[in-house]
């Protein structure tokens, strides 16, 4: 295990009742009652997560509330997705102490779309798009493009095909779904023919170099209750009931402090590269879209073999909302609260498409049969 710098907690724990840096009436999920979000297992997992956050902060757990209700409270709000600025304002979210998650100035900013630049000055783009993000990001992402029209996507795909297979990605896809690899122009055109023009213009699509022999790292930082943690780790894959490879959980090594603290650690070269890429993405996003409010940031960073045989590392996407690794993040906060002299913990989330018994000491987030996805077990556990 590489050595780590020592990060000592404050004399008064930020988790101590009365020491919170904001006046809060409790913790609540921010929801749209007219549009319930997620599958059964997602909603159940989120309910468990909210209970643990409230307990961690010694705050009451309030019923889920919509924007109108939230605007008249001082609750810490936990939305299911990154919020648009107007929606955040309507819910009374104005600064970092109001939310666990993220606030973005435009829909596309919270998606994979900002991971790449456009094919050129002539390319279609949404109103708030800036080319600054791609310039600042540089080689911290894989070679690739974002496109907001079928013609631009076809041009981007053909450029990339000169160097090898191309991965086409739904910018809103989760758990590894909504992706396809094409190896020639005919397959590219067939894939793009299935896209809806209006959806392309609104959301965009990502085309990037396809890597093989890959590992996906998770790099993140979370601010909660006046404390900050950061981590590196890896994602695991599992198979769902359709035989597809999907997200199966994350193994995280968590320390006190933010991304700067993480970068000061003596990490192996491959982890240091992953952390550096995530930090560059984070800095580029804040500089390019200065209205961002982000208190939960998770970056998926891939390392693998490019078509030219070289190993490459780059950020795949960001998650500025509570997500698959959040159970492990809260487990780390709980460990740091219980053990003031502990500076590093290892925690995992696990998702299995079966009914299994979680190990001793694990927190079960869901165990049952989801009407859409079938039997499933989800849990978080600290293992070191």
Instruction: Give per-residue pLDDT as tens, 330-384.
Output: 999 999 999 999 999 999 999 999 999 999 999 999 999 999 999 999 999 999 8
Band of pLDDT at residue 33, cut at 50, 70 and 90: confident
Instruction: Give per-residue pLDDT as tens, 99-108.
Output: 999 999 999 9
Pairing of strands 144-147, 293-294: unpaired
C-beta pairs of 128-132 under 8 Å, 24+ apart in sequence: 130/288, 130/289, 132/284, 132/287, 132/288
CA distance 186 to 213: 25
The CATH class for the domain spanning 111-140+143-210 reads alpha beta
- Cβ atoms within 10 Å of 276's Cβ, excluding its own: 18
Radius of gyration of the chain (CA): 21
Instruction: Give per-residue pLDDT as tens, 108-129.
Output: 999 999 999 999 999 999 999 9
Tell me the percentage of the chain whose pLDDT exceeds 70: 92
**pTM for this predicted structure:** 0.90
Structure tokens at 144: 């690739």
Band of pLDDT at residue 38, cut at 50, 70 and 90: confident
Domain boundaries, the chain: 27-107+214-382, 111-140+143-210
Give the pLDDT of residue 175: 52
């Amino acid at each position: 295990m590489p050595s780590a710098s020592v990060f000592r907690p404050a004399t008064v724990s930020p988790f101590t009742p009365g020491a919170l840096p904001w006046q809060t009436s409790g913790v609540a999920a921010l929801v749209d009652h007219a549009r319930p979000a997620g599958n059964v297992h997602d909603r159940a997992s989120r309910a468990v997560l909210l209970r643990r956050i409230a307990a961690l902060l010694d705050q009451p757990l309030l019923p889920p509330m919509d924007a109108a209700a939230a605007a008249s409270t001082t609750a810490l709000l936990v939305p299911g997705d990154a919020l648009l600025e107007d929606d955040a304002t309507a819910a009374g979210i104005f600064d970092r102490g109001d939310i666990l998650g993220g606030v973005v100035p435009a829909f596309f900013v919270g998606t994979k779309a900002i991971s790449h630049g456009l094919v050129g000055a002539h390319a279609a783009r949404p109103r708030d798009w800036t080319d600054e993000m791609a310039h600042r990001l540089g080689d911290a992402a894989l070679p690739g493009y974002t496109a907001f029209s079928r013609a631009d996507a076809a041009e981007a795909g053909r450029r990339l095909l000169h160097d090898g297979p191309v991965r086409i990605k739904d910018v809103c896809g989760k758990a590894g779904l909504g992706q396809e690899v094409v190896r020639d122009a005919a397959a590219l055109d067939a894939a793009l023919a299935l896209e809806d023009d209006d959806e392309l213009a609104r959301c965009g699509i990502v085309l990037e170099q396809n890597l093989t022999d890959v590992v996906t790292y998770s790099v993140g930082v979370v601010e909660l209750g006046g404390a900050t943690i950061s981590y590196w780790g890896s994602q695991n894959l599992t198979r769902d009931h359709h035989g597809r490879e999907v997200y199966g959980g994350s193994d995280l090594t968590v320390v006190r402090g933010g991304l700067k603290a993480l970068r000061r650690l003596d990490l192996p070269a491959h982890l240091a590269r992953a952390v550096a890429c995530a930090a560059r993405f984070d800095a580029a996003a804040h500089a390019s879209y200065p209205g961002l409010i982000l208190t939960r940031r998770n970056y998926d960073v891939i390392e693998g073999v490019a078509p030219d045989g070289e190993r490459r590392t780059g950020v795949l996407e960001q998650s500025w909302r509570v997500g698959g690794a959040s159970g492990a993040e809260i487990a780390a906060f709980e460990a740091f609260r219980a053990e003031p002299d502990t500076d590093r913990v290892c925690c995992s989330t696990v998702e299995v498409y079966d009914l299994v018994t979680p190990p001793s000491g694990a927190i079960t987030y869901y165990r049952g049969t989801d009407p859409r996805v079938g039997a499933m077990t989800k849990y978080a556990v600290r293992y070191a």
